[in-house]
Structure 1
Amino acid sequence: MVDPQLASVIGMVFSYTAVAVGIIFAGAALGSALGWGLICSKYIEGIARQPEMLPTLRIQMFITAGLMESFPFIAAAFAMYFTFVNPFEGAAVAAITHVAH
């Protein structure tokens, strides 16, 4: 039989982790959208100022966009880690059992 207090704490840990994962995904989406907007606006601004720099600016834009696009994937990796491994669960169980004994 599972201790009701332990089940309650584990439930809270999982629910708070789900909220944190949602915040991580929201931050990644917002950061990616802002990054793409800034990259594309500066690219167009650079072409408008110096049209002869179009090939150089295009290459630099795609390099920068590729680096910026890695941010949501890194955030997704952390979110999946917290979702499926959840390191906080073991710490919560250890704390509850330590207090109970």
Structure 2
Amino acid sequence: MDPSILANVYAFTAIGVGIILAAAGLGSALGWGLICSKYIEGIARQPEMRPQLMGQMLFTGGLMEAFPMIVLGMAMWFVFANPFVGALVG
């Protein structure tokens, strides 16, 4: 097995993981922005609904934050237990 091929596999995996993590962070940030803007819009329409809307906003925001953590776990799997290297060696 040529070491340069192995180095290329690790390099391309690192680039892919970086792109994946950037997309997850951007998606989470956009999601939070939309959630908060709709929360403020809902309060502007019906101020008496503020406590209920806040609970729903925080619950939905928690779900939104779970997505990047799942993606981070998958990215760590690609970095530390790279399946492409196993396919290359085997």
TM-score, length basis structure 1: 0.86
State yes or no: 1:32 paired with 2:28: yes
Query: Which string of whole-angstrom CA distances, capped at 9 and with x for unpartnered residues, describes residues 22-68 of structure 1?
Result: 01110111011101100000000000000011011001001100001
User: Offset at 1:75?
Assistant: 0.7
Match of 2:51 in 1: 55
2:84 to 76, 82, 88: 88
The runs of 5 or more residues in structure 2 that have no matched partner are none
Two-structure CA RMSD over aligned residues (Å): 0.8
Could you tell me which runs of 5 or more consecutive residues in structure 1 were left unpaired when the two chains were aligned.
95-101
Q: Which has the larger radius of gyration?
A: 1
Give me the whole-angstrom Cα distance separating, in 1, the residues matched to 2:84 and 2:38: 42
Task: Give the whole-Å Cα distance in 1 for the aligned partners of 2:3 and 2:47.
Answer: 64
What is the Cα deviation at residue 16 of structure 1?
0.4
Distance 2:12 2:20 in 1: 12
Give runs of ≥4 in structure 1 deviating > 6 Å.
none
The aligned counterpart of 2:42 is 46
Pair 1:10 & 2:6 matched? yes
Q: Residue 79 of structure 1 corresponds to which residue in structure 2? A: 75
Counterpart of 2:62?
A: 66
